[in-house]
Structure 1
Amino acid sequence: MASELLPDNYLEFLAKLKEHIRTAQAKAALAVNRELVMLYWHIGHEIWKRQLEQGWGAKVIEEAKKHWLKAATSKKC
Structure 2
Amino acid sequence: MHEGGSRTAPTLRCYVVIEIKAGRFKPDHLGQIGFYMKAVDRQFKQPHDAPTIGLLLCKSKNKVVAEYALHDHSKPIGIAQYQLTQCMPEELKTSLPSIEQIEKELKSRDA
Q: Which bracket does the TM-score occupy, shorter chain normalised? A: under 0.3
Q: Quick check: which has more Rg, 1 or 2?
A: 1
More helix by share: 1
The structure where strand makes up a greater share of residues is 2
Greater RCO structure (CA 8 Å; 6+ sep): 2
